[in-house]
């Protein structure tokens, strides 16, 4: 620490800080235009100049380090004169159209002109007045207003790492442009909007908001993003119940001001004209729907559910609740299923996603959740990213990985068959054959043990079963693993040494681990890696599934699973059973419930007769569509609660229209277990009800009282029955929320799990053999098909495809195929090809690219026109029954 004097006040500061930072800490305001705490200072705008005693000239405080006993004046006469002159110079380049500029009221330049009473410029107006560019759907550019502060260039380089903007030309003609003035869409831009968010003037703006309203006309509502499991905090700007734009607070975790294209520009779906508007009912699938009142629809649902329960027994019913809905809604869904319908046939879309994480991590550690916070990524020294296309699926988490590598020097090991963007940042890329994770990780374990790199003390004190593990992994020599996985031996050895060679080794993983026959085993193998190196239970370590949907963590935590009550309290534990029976005032089922795929099998066997599906579209997103749809057609009664008429809703007898996340209150839990409050921003459209209200209506109509005035009351009930949530209530969740477990009202939350002991006591090292995928390529179907995500669209596309901005950037699907596979088939980029598996066939455009591993092709599943899941199946995780979306066999050909 050093002390210095700013405007006569003694200030303490870290020695590496700048004068500006020291002043800010002491509450002394210095104006800035080009400074941003996330970026390296450039000293370009010179608004922050200050006088330092003994210095020859004024200095830019944002770029000048403090020194001991320094004496600084921030508002001396010469400082004020210099700032005024500076403003006049900037103004000479700027159009004086403040009255009609959209940035009025938010413009930093305008604020400073006002503060410094600069009304005009003595200098010639030399603004070249380029024409505004509104050629792209998201970002409006008016370079006549640019003051060349360079923040857009720097944030794109330093935070987003996309390098889209650069300074072009020299002298008076200098401007910020894309390389060769390419349109943004072709410039590598990912439409994250970082550049817009830092522009201090009206040069870059969110296009949807332009000419729609001024800042003082808008309300600002904080909420949580509804797309991926990062759970970014959002600020919605609303004028007369219309959302104009979305920004993010730079102080709020986990995103600290960053957003991705969906968070920033994917908000218009809610006002889509084809939003469901009233309940729809029909007796038979071959009839058209007719609109019904809520009374009629609820009455019908209650009557039919009751009839089916009485006629066939409680287990003829199943419920799938929504990982897009709130914790409170998921809690009610499982309460309804257990207390009202009397069955444990309860599941959620984690079944097709990270159910193997819950199973695998519970078996290894005792708790099925991420062990560390997303913020920990930045400080890791070695990162394993396996089966996670992070830059596309969790873009804001990917920024932390990029920062760890580029700014903090971390070593990155990417395990993925595709050449995903993160490969550019990797020290080692293990390009394995799809479906061979367990063999590869056994290979890493083999090297670590053989080279004596394991953490013996940790193994001895905190784990069990090391001897069995050793017996298994001794067989997985690098030579043999190379044969199975296709990964060169030397890379396996290199990766093992990197990860075992640090005390700050962190594992981040995705569906490339879980959506396999050996999905749960893959997760357990990763846990083996962190356990034998002791890289767990501390900051910057651990094993972290990047959970998928905004609240898939929460729907599992709330007990929307067939074998557990909230926070994984075992449904077959007599004490748990008694607690919930007493609290809910009813007899509860004892028998474990069916998992989602079992529900379809039982439907085909004539045993499951009715389902209640909330915010989930298995007819589009479950594997092997034909199988799932034929099961659904067997239901005597199917109720779907949705925003839109999805493929699943089309198979329903009753469709109930629900509000979306902008329109309701509740909480979401993100991938780092952070429970956050949504805040209702706009009212639901007329005739639409909240999911939680609808469930209460049905329960009440069936004679089981469910009365809550507000989701906060549901949370109170959850907290009273769930030890990990005991300290959570809505008041405490204000702001940045809490990370569970929160054991009591004073407990601060638990960002790091398993510090001194594992939830299950000792960490279990699971000895696992590699098992090949269910369906491997052969002569008839010679290629691996692996499926996953693209940046611009989201799962079934029901929301992302209804945003005109996003749709105009990405409007159709294409299949990625390696040149060595495409050439012999005569396939070129842009050709329409036919893709066929043993279960179905579709046509799609080809993209011939080395991004695909030779022998493997890749498709997303976002576009209804390309129904990828007619191809997928039939494998599933041995333990969790999650479909093997990442491996099946197909052939690709030019249609004759
Ligand atoms: N833009 C966008 N973001 C999303 C979503 C979306 O639809 N769109 N969905 C959300 C949801 S629900 C989820 S679950 C997450 C999913 O996010 P991710 O887990 O990142 O999703 P995927 O793209 O399905 O698969 C990730 C990677 O696994 C790789 N992979 C395939 N086979 C193997 C294998 O055998 N081994 C290894 N190691 N890797 C393999 C694929 O090549 C792919 O790059 O994303 C969430 N975020
Ligand atoms: N081929 C292939 N298929 C896959 C995958 C893959 O990698 N490859 N990944 C799988 C994975 S990981 C997942 S998670 C699934 C996701 O598949 P789904 O869960 O089916 O898809 P989502 O788009 O997340 O959302 C489901 C529905 O929720 C609705 N919804 C959104 N908010 C609300 C709300 O507040 N209330 C109500 N009632 N409804 C709401 C949306 O309109 C949408 O139709 O797809 C799986 N399918
Ligand atoms: S803020 Fe320091 S020079 Fe711009
Ligand atoms: Mo997912």
| Per-position DSSP letters for 475-504, written without gaps between them | T--HHHHHHHH---HHHHHHHHHHHHT-S-
Residues 73-105 have pLDDT tens digits of 999 999 999 999 999 999 888 888 888 899 999
The residue among 686, 719, 739 that closes a domain is 739
* The token pair that represents 651 in the structure block: 């198979």
Which atom of ligand 1 lies closest to the CA of 430?
38
The Cα-based distances of 48 to 63, 80, 251, 434, 839 in angstroms read 9, 10, 22, 54, 66
What is the structure's pLDDT at 170? 78
For residue 470, give every residue at least 6 positions away whose Cβ sits within 8 Å of its Cβ, in sequence order, or none: 449
Q: How many domains does the chain have?
A: 5
Is the residue at 91 inside a domain?
no
- Shared domain for 410 and 464, answered yes or no, is yes
387 lines ligand 1 (CB under 6 A): yes
Q: E strands of 62-138, at which residues?
A: 71-73
Query: Within this chain, do residues 340 and 399 fall inside the same structural domain, yes or no?
Result: no
Dihedral of the alpha carbons of 287, 293, 294, 300, in degrees to the nearest 10: -40
Whether the CB of 783 sits within 6 Å of ligand 3 = no
Q: E strands along 146-241, which residues?
A: 165-168, 175-178, 204-206, 219-224, 233-239
Structural domain of residue 145, as residue ranges? 125-271
Lookup: tokens for 667: 């909480």
Shared domain for 496 and 463, answered yes or no, is yes
- 475 & 420 share domain: yes
Could you tell me which residues are beta bridge partners of residue 176?
167
397 and 490 in one domain? yes
The CATH number linked to 421 is 3.40.228.10
Q: Which of 191, 394, 442, 511 has most ligand 1 atoms within 8 Å of CB, for mutation?
A: 511
Query: Distance between CA atoms of 508 and 485, rounded to whole angstroms?
Result: 20
The candidate with the shortest Cα–Cα distance to 597, out of 838, 349, 772, is: 349
In a domain, residue 86? The reply is no
Ligand 2 mean position to 440 CA, how many Å? Answer: 30
792 Cα nearest atom in ligand 1: 1
- Candidate of 270, 274, 322 to mutate for ligand 2, largest count of ligand atoms within 8 Å of Cβ: 322
Any ligand 1 atom below 6 A from CB of 392: yes
- Provide the CATH number for the domain around residue 886: 2.40.40.20
| pLDDT of 13 | 94
Maximum distance among all Cα pairs of the chain, rounded to whole angstroms: 92
Q: State the closest ligand 3 atom to the C-alpha of 61, by its place in the atom list counted from 1.
A: 2
DSSP secondary structure letter of residue 132: P
Kindly report the pTM of this predicted structure. Answer: 0.96
231-277 pLDDT per residue, tens: 999 999 999 999 999 999 999 999 999 999 999 999 999 999 999 99
Q: Quick one: which atom of ligand 1 is closest to the CA of 323?
A: 12
The C-alpha atoms of residue 195 and residue 178 are separated, in whole angstroms, by: 12
Asked whether 512 lines ligand 1 (CB < 6 A), one says yes
Ligand that comes closest to the CA of residue 512 = 1
CA distance 581 to 599: 25
Q: What is the DSSP string of 6-35?
A: ETTEEEEE-TT-BHHHHHHHTT-----SS-
Ligand (nearest to CA of 151): 3
d(CA 855, CA 784): 6
Shared domain check, 392 and 474 = yes
Please state the atom number of ligand 3 nearest to the C-alpha of residue 34. Answer: 4
Q: Are 535 and 601 part of one and the same domain?
A: no
The alpha carbon of 217 and the centre of ligand 4 are apart by a number of angstroms equal to: 38
Q: Is residue 90 part of a domain?
A: no
Looking at ligand 3, which atom is closest to the CA of residue 31?
1
Are the CB atoms for 232 and 218 separated by under 8 Å? no
Please tell me the predicted confidence (pLDDT) of residue 885.
98
| pLDDT for position 126 | 65
Q: Is 24 in the pocket of ligand 3 (CB under 6 A)?
A: no
Closest C-alpha residue for ligand 1 atom 44: 389
Q: How far is CA 63 from the centre of its chain?
A: 35
Same domain, 566 and 715: yes
Residue 84 falls within a domain, yes or no? no
Establish if 746 belongs to a structural domain. Answer: no
Closest CA to 150 of 167, 163, 162, 137: 167
* Ligand 1 closest atom vs CA 436: 35
Q: Give the pLDDT score at 47.
A: 96
CB of 619 closer than 6 A to ligand 3? no
Write down which residue in 716, 739, 762 finishes a domain.
739
pLDDT of residue 873: 86
| 350 CA from centroid of ligand 2 (Å) | 10
CB of 418 sitting under 6 A from ligand 1: yes
- Does residue 644 sit within a domain? yes
Looking up residue 658, the CATH number of its domain turns out to be: 3.40.50.740
The ligand 3 atom at the shortest distance from the C-alpha of residue 44 is 3
Domain limit, last residue, from 253, 271, 289: 271
CATH classification at residue 140: 3.30.70.20
- Ramachandran assignment for 240, one of left (phi > 0), alpha (psi -120 to 50 degrees), beta (any other): left
> Are the C-beta atoms of 620 and 796 separated by less than 8 Å?
yes
Helices 596-604 and 625-632 meet at what angle, rounded to 10? 60
Q: Is residue 573 part of a domain?
A: yes
Q: Is 44 in the pocket of ligand 3 (CB under 6 A)?
A: yes
In this prediction, residue 120 carries a pLDDT of 81
CA 277 to CA 404: how far, in whole Å? 47
Dist. CA 497–CA 656, nearest whole Å: 55
Q: How far apart are CA 147 and CA 175, in angstroms?
A: 9
User: How far apart (Å, rounded) are the C-alpha atoms in residues 68 and 591?
Assistant: 72
**CA–CA gap between residue 311 and residue 862 (Å, rounded):** 39
**Rounded to the nearest whole angstrom, what is the distance from the C-alpha of residue 878 to the centroid of ligand 4?**
18
Q: What parts of the chain have a pLDDT lower than 50?
A: none
CB 757 within 8 A of CB 870: no
Cβ 21 under 6 angstroms from ligand 3 = no
565 within ligand 3 shell (Cβ under 6 A): no
For residues 234 and 248, what is the distance between their CA atoms, to the nearest angstrom? 5
Mean pLDDT (the chain) is 96
Do 566 and 517 belong to one domain? no
What is the token pair recorded at 433? 């054959």
Task: Look at residue 162 in the predicted model and tell me its pLDDT.
Answer: 95
Same domain for 515 and 633, yes or no, is no
The alpha-carbon radius of gyration of the chain (Å, integer) is 29
Q: Pocket around ligand 2: residues whose beta carbon is below 6 Å from it?
A: 322, 324-325, 349, 352-353, 511, 515, 548-549, 614-617, 621, 641-644, 646, 658, 660-661, 691, 787-788, 794-796, 798-799, 861, 868-869, 872, 885
Q: Do 795 and 877 belong together in one domain? A: yes
CA 39 to each of CA 25, 153, 157, 247, 250: distance values in angstroms, whole numbers, following the listed order: 18, 10, 9, 19, 13
d(CA 489, CA 504): 24
Instruction: Give the Cβ contact number of residue 691 at 10 Å.
Output: 27
* Same domain, yes or no: 590 and 577: yes
In a domain? residue 756: no
| 216 CB neighbour count, 10 Å cutoff | 8
Indicate the burial class of 347 (C-beta count within 10 angstroms; 0-12, 13-18, 19 or more).
buried
């Amino acid at each position: 620490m050093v002390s210095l004097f700013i405007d006569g006040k003694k200030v303490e500061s870290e020695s590496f800080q700048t004068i500006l930072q020291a002043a800010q800490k002491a509450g002394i305001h210095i104006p800035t235009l080009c400074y941003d705490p996330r970026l390296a200072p450039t000293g370009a705008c010179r608004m922050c100049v200050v006088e330092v005693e003994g210095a020859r000239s004024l200095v830019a405080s944002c770029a000048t380090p403090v020194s001991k006993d320094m004496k600084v004046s921030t508002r001396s006469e010469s400082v004020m004169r210099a700032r005024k002159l500076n403003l006049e110079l900037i103004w000479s380049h700027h159009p004086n159209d403040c009255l009609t500029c959209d940035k009025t009221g938010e413009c930093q330049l305008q604020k400073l002109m006002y503060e410094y009473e600069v009304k005009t410029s003595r200098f010639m107006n030399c603004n070249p007045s380029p024409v505004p560019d509104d050629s792209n759907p998201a970002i409006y550019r008016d370079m006549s207003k640019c003051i060349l502060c360079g923040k857009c260039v720097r944030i794109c380089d330093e935070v987003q790492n996309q390098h889209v903007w650069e300074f072009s030309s020299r002298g008076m003609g200098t401007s910020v442009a894309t390389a060769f003035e390419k349109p943004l869409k072709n410039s590598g831009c990912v439409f994250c909007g970082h550049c817009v968010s830092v522009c201090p003037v009206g040069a870059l703006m969110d296009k949807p908001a332009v000419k729609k309203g001024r800042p003082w006309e808008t309300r600002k509502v904080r909420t949580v993003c509804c797309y991926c499991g990062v759970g970014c905090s959002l600020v919605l700007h609303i004028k007369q119940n219309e959302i104009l734009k979305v920004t993010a607070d730079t102080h709020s975790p986990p995103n600290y001001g960053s957003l991705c294209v969906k968070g920033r520009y994917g908000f218009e779906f809610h006002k889509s004209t084809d939003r469901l508007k009233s309940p729809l009912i029909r007796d038979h699938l071959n009839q058209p729907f007719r609109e019904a009142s809520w009374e009629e629809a609820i009455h019908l649902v209650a009557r039919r559910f009751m009839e089916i329960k009485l006629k066939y027994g409680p287990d003829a019913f199943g419920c799938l609740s929504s990982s897009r809905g709130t914790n409170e809604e998921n809690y009610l869904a499982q309460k309804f299923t257990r207390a009202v319908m009397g069955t444990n046939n309860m599941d959620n879309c984690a079944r097709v996603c990270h159910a193997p994480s819950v199973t695998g991590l519970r078996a290894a550690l005792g708790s099925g959740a991420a062990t560390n916070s997303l913020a920990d990524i930045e400080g890791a020294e070695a990162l394993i990213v396996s089966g996670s296309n992070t830059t596309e699926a969790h873009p804001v988490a990917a920024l932390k990985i990029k920062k760890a590598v580029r700014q903090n020097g971390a070593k990155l090991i990417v395990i993925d068959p595709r050449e995903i963007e993160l490969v550019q940042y990797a020290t080692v890329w293990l390009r394995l054959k799809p479906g061979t994770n367990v063999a590869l990780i056994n290979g890493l374990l083999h090297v670590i043990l053989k080279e004596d790199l394991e953490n013996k003390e940790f193994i001895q004190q905190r784990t069990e079963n090391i001897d069995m593990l050793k017996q298994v992994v001794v067989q997985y020599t690098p030579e043999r693993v190379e044969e199975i996985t296709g990964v060169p031996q030397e890379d396996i050895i290199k990766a093992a040494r990197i990860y075992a060679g640090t005390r700050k080794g962190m594992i981040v993983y995705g569906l490339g681990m879980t959506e396999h026959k050996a999905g749960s085993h893959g997760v357990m193998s990763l846990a083996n890696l962190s356990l034998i190196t002791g890289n767990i239970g501390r900051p910057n370590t651990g094993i972290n599934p990047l959970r998928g949907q905004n609240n898939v963590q929460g729907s599992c935590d709330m007990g929307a699973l067939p074998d557990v009550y909230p926070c994984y309290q075992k449904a077959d534990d007599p004490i748990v059973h008694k607690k919930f029976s007493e609290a809910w005032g009813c007899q509860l089922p004892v028998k474990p419930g069916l998992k989602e795929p079992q529900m379809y099998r039982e439907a085909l066997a004539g045993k499951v007769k009715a389902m209640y599906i909330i915010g989930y579209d298995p007819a589009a997103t479950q594997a092997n569509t034909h199988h799932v749809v034929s099961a659904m057609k067997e239901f005597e009664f199917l109720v779907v609660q949705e925003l839109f008429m999805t493929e699943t809703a089309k198979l329903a007898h009753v469709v109930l229209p629900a509000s979306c996340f902008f329109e309701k209150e509740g909480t979401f839990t993100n991938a780092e277990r952070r429970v956050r409050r949504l805040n209702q921003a706009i009212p639901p459209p007329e005739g639409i009800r909240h999911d939680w209200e609808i469930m209460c209506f049905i329960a009440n109509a069936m004679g089981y009282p469910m009365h809550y005035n507000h989701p906060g009351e549901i949370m109170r009930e959850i907290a009273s029955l769930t030890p990990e949530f005991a300290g959570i209530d809505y008041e405490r969740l204000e702001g940045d929320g809490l990370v569970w477990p929160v054991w009591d009202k004073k407990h601060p939350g638990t960002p790091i799990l398993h510090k001194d002991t594992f939830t299950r006591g000792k960490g279990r090292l699971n000895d696992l053999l590699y098992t090949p995928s269910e369906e491997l390529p052969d002569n008839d179907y010679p290629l691996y098909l692996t499926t996953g995500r693209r940046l611009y669209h989201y799962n079934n596309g029901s929301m992302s495809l209804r945003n005109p901005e996003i749709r105009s950037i990405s409007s159709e699907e294409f299949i990625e195929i390696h040149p060595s596979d495409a050439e012999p088939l005569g396939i070129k980029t842009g050709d329409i090809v036919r893709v066929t598996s043993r279960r179905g066939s579709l046509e799609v455009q080809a993209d011939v690219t080395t991004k695909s591993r030779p022998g493997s092709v890749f498709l997303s599943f976002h576009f209804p026109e390309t129904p990828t899941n007619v191809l997928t199946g039939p494998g599933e995780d041995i333990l969790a029954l999650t479909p093997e979306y990442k491996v099946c066999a197909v052939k690709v050909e030019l249609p004759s």
